Amino acid sequence: MTTSPLDSYRQKASFNWSELKNIVEGEESVQIKVGTLEKEPLFARNYDRLSREELRELNHRRWKKILELKLPSYHCLLEVLEMYDQGLSARLSLHNTVFITAIFSMGSERHQEILERIVGCFSLTELSHGSNTQGIQTVATFDNGEFVFNCPNDGAIKCWTGNLAESATHAVVFAQLIVAGKCEGVHAFVLQVRDTRTFEPLPGITIGDMGEKPGAWNGVENGWMEFKNHRAPLWTLLNKGCEVTSDGNYISSYKSVSEKQSVSLGALSVGRVGIIGKGVTACGLASTIAIRYSACRRQFGPRKGEEIPVIDYPLQQHRLLPYLAAYFAIRLFHKRLWEFLTEYLMRVMQGDKSTELAEFSKEIHALSSSAKPVSTWLGVEALSEARRACGGHGYLYCSRLNELRDSFDSSQTFEGENDMILQQTSNVLLAKVHRAHTLSIAYAELTIISWSRSFVQNVEQLEIREVRRIFSVDRLASFTIFRGYCTGEHFGEGIRSNIRQLEAELAPAAISLVDAVAPPDFVLNSALGASDGSPYEHMMREFRKHTNPRPNWWKDLRDVLEQSSTRQSKL
């Protein structure tokens, strides 16, 4: 039996990686990853390239199977799907998380009745407005006991709405509410947009597809929607705190604009908090693939001696290990932030309209608006660095690194473009935009460091001491220091030296730490990052599918060469 190159590294760790995995992820999550989906033939993996239509049909079939399986933990399932396929994950989460949360947090019991047997989507962004939600131009005008929806110009057409292009039957639509000639501001409505029997758009609604996109997001039906005198009943207004009567009176129970905004801020924060998790996932997948491959790949060494595993070189450690550390730190921060958001949403659904809750919503909004850029920037950086760190083989489709990089790239712009939403954390400093930008990042990173340190103290009781090094304040603070927050002629030298030392000490345990991060191989789907440590065998298995290929145009090539040969002989 051949020994895996990874086994020698696994033996160096002083902790049980499976125990750490259960602590970080939860036993239930681990069991779902290892279990149900892997047994379903429909979820089998390969490296075949599918057209947009084929990918969407496959996602539909997989989505249908997931509904049939009735898995016990939606949150754990979504985490698996984030690593498995971003398109399938979006298909599920856009309805189950974003759409339904909007209904429960902004609507009332009358809206919850429609949630059976529909596919929902969340339609806020317009062609000319995204992050500036107060500037959207779609209008809902009260008229004879109904709302009339219109897009006054092309810029007001709804776009980037996931699930809309082909599947969604209902949409949470944001529009400027106009009653008796007065604009009451942006409000949310739940509209039926398609006939549930024919799947044709309803009168006054035009729906289309936004076309090709990179990566797994071709499996997501991002659509556009135009309203032209579409009429909808009054009950479609999501009415937590406001109402429009049949005789055209606008009634609001909110005491202030900030109280009113706190409800919508919570709904918007759901998407941003979710996307923080995408950065975590990207760091984990990048670290898994690149570190495992680097432990198998040997290059150079002493004369007449064995070549050295690439992961043993300080440069490779410095390129990859910070992203592994970031995975653990941001993951634990993300878990706690979800708990705070869940608490907030429960209080909203229970009718809490206190000033304290309004302030709580602002804090969640500020933290999600700053942590989302930090997390997604790190995630995309991790995938790019991992691809380069794996050399030429990292460029192969079967490495999965390029597909992942393309798929996660959009996380930097949807639910708010990163640089722009950082300003929402520091509105007080908007007069000094650069400083506000910097302080917003520092605010997020400091919170990540603080919350992950709390976790380390708990893990210490289980004697998994190596974990402390991952969450070292110096390690995380290095991101802050090198952005220029602290200066001095020799200030950074000690920090850099300490980081190098931490990386060298962490390297022997890196494979076991990655094992605690990694999904099963069928989810990871990388020839370079498989847990058996046999990247060359996996690559050759793919290469041999294309043995001795002869192109369809080989005769034309032969004729060109023969003609060239004839011309040369005449010369």
Which residues line the annotated binding site for FAD? 125, 162
Strands, E assignment, 1-130:
120-123
52 CB contacts (<8 Å, ≥6 apart)? 212, 218, 219
Name the active-site residue from 79, 259, 385, 415. 415
How many C-beta atoms surround the C-beta of residue 40 within 10 A? 13
How many C-beta atoms surround the C-beta of residue 282 within 10 A? 31
Cα distance between residue 145 and residue 232, in whole Å? 9
Closest-CA residue to 119 (of 76, 186, 167):
167
Cα distance between residue 366 and residue 368, in whole Å? 6
DSSP assignment of 382-429:
HHHHHHHHTGGGGGSGGG-HHHHHHHHHGGGTTTS-HHHHHHHHTGGG
For residue 161, give Cα distances in angstroms to 82, 210, 215: 19, 9, 17
Q: Report the 3 state secondary structure along 433-444.
A: HHHHHHHHHHHH
Query: Coil, strand or helix: which one is 529?
Result: coil
Cα distance between residue 108 and residue 549, in whole Å? 62
DSSP assignment of 270-298:
HHHHHHHHHHHHHHHHHHHHHHHHHHH-E
Cα distance between residue 316 and residue 305, in whole Å? 21
Cα distance between residue 430 and residue 515, in whole Å? 43
Terminal CA-CA length for the chain: 62
Contact 246, 179 (CB under 8 A): no
Please, what is the Cα angle at 418 between 412 and 424, to 5 degrees?
A: 150
26 CB contacts (<8 Å, ≥6 apart)? 76
- Residue 415 annotated in active site: yes
Length of the chain counted residue by residue: 571
Are β-strands 170-179 and 139-143 bridged in parallel, bridged antiparallel, or unpaired? parallel
351 CB contacts (<8 Å, ≥6 apart)? none
How many C-beta atoms surround the C-beta of residue 166 within 10 A? 16
Which DSSP helix (H) or strand (E) runs through 182? strand 182-192
Cα distance between residue 479 and residue 304, in whole Å? 40
Binding residues: 125, 162
Please, what is the Cα angle at 534 between 533 and 539, to 5 degrees?
A: 135
Structure tokens at 508: 């022997």
Structure tokens at 74: 């939606």
Q: Which residues are catalytic?
A: 415
